[in-house]
Structure 1
Amino acid sequence: MICALGAAVCFGTASVLQAMAARAAEPGTGSGVDTALLLRAARQWRYVLGLALDATGFVLQIIALKHLPIYAVSAALAASLAVTAVVSARLLHVRLGGAEWGAVGVVCAGLAMLGLASGEEGAGTGTFALKLGLLGVAGLVLLVGAVAGGLPDRSRALVLGLAAGTGFGVVEVAVRLIDGVSFTNPAVYALLLGGGAAFLLLTSALQRGSVTVATAGMVLGETIGPAVVGVVWLGDRTREGLAWLAVLGFAVAVAGALALARFGEPPPPSAPAEA
Structure 2
Amino acid sequence: MLIGLSAALLACLGYGVASVLQAYAARRSAAAAEARGVGGQLTETGAPTVASTVAAALTVWFIVGTALDVVGFVGNSVSARLIPLFLSQTIMSANLIITAVLGITVLGIRLHRREWIAIITVILALAALGTAAGHEGGGSDDPAMHWGVLIAAVLLFTVSQLVVRHLGSRGAVTAGLAAGLLFGALAIAVRIVGGIDPLSLPTLLADPAAWTIAIAGVGGFYLHTVALQLGSVNGATAALVVGETVIPGIAGVLLLGDTARPGWQWLAILGFVLAIGGAVAVAVFGNLSAVREHADT
The TM-score normalised by the length of structure 2 is 0.81
**1:35: Cα distance to partner?**
4.7
The equivalent residue for 1:235 is: 257
Instruction: Indicate yes or no: 2:269 matched with 1:247.
Output: yes
The equivalent residue for 1:110 is: 125
Count matched residues.
270
Return the alpha-carbon distance in structure 2 between the equivalents of residues 131 and 266 of structure 1: 39
Instruction: Indicate yes or no: 2:46 matched with 1:42.
Output: no
Alignment match of 2:68 (pick from 53, 68, 93) = 53
The equivalent residue for 2:213 is: 191
Partner SS state of residue 205, structure 2: coil
The equivalent residue for 1:87 is: 102
CA gap of 1:230–1:236, structure 2 versus 1, over 3 A, is same
Return the alpha-carbon distance in structure 2 between the equivalents of residues 71 and 149 of structure 1: 28
The amino acid of 2:25's aligned partner reads: A
The equivalent residue for 1:130 is: 145
**1:20: Cα distance to partner?**
1.9
Alignment match of 1:74 (pick from 78, 81, 89) = 89
**1:81: Cα distance to partner?**
0.8
**1:211: Cα distance to partner?**
5.4
Partner SS state of residue 152, structure 1: helix
CA gap of 1:224–1:126, structure 2 versus 1, over 3 A, is farther
The amino acid of 2:87's aligned partner reads: A
Instruction: Indicate yes or no: 2:224 matched with 1:202.
Output: yes
| RMSD across aligned positions (CA) | 2.8
Return the alpha-carbon distance in structure 2 between the equivalents of residues 228 and 35 of structure 1: 33
Deviates more, 1:200-209 or 1:183-192: 200-209
Instruction: Indicate yes or no: 2:29 matched with 1:25.
Output: yes
The amino acid of 1:187's aligned partner reads: A
Q: Is the 8 A contact 1:162 1:221 kept in 2?
A: yes
> Per-residue CA shift, 1:153-173, capped at 9, x if unaligned?
365333322221111111111
CA gap of 1:155–1:144, structure 2 versus 1, over 3 A, is farther
Return the alpha-carbon distance in structure 2 between the equivalents of residues 80 and 219 of structure 1: 8
Instruction: Indicate yes or no: 2:29 matched with 1:7.
Output: no
**1:150: Cα distance to partner?**
3.7
The equivalent residue for 1:141 is: 156
Return the alpha-carbon distance in structure 1 between the equivalents of residues 216 and 6 of structure 2: 25
Structure 2 regions of 5+ residues with no counterpart?
Answer: 31-40
Return the alpha-carbon distance in structure 2 between the equivalents of residues 150 and 92 of structure 1: 26
Q: Is the 8 A contact 2:186 2:216 kept in 1?
A: yes
The TM-score normalised by the length of structure 1 is 0.87
Structure 1 regions of 5+ residues with no counterpart?
Answer: 270-275
Return the alpha-carbon distance in structure 2 between the equivalents of residues 82 and 212 of structure 1: 9
The equivalent residue for 1:272 is: none
**1:97: Cα distance to partner?**
4.4
Return the alpha-carbon distance in structure 1 between the equivalents of residues 290 and 64 of structure 2: 16
Return the alpha-carbon distance in structure 2 between the equivalents of residues 9 and 212 of structure 1: 15
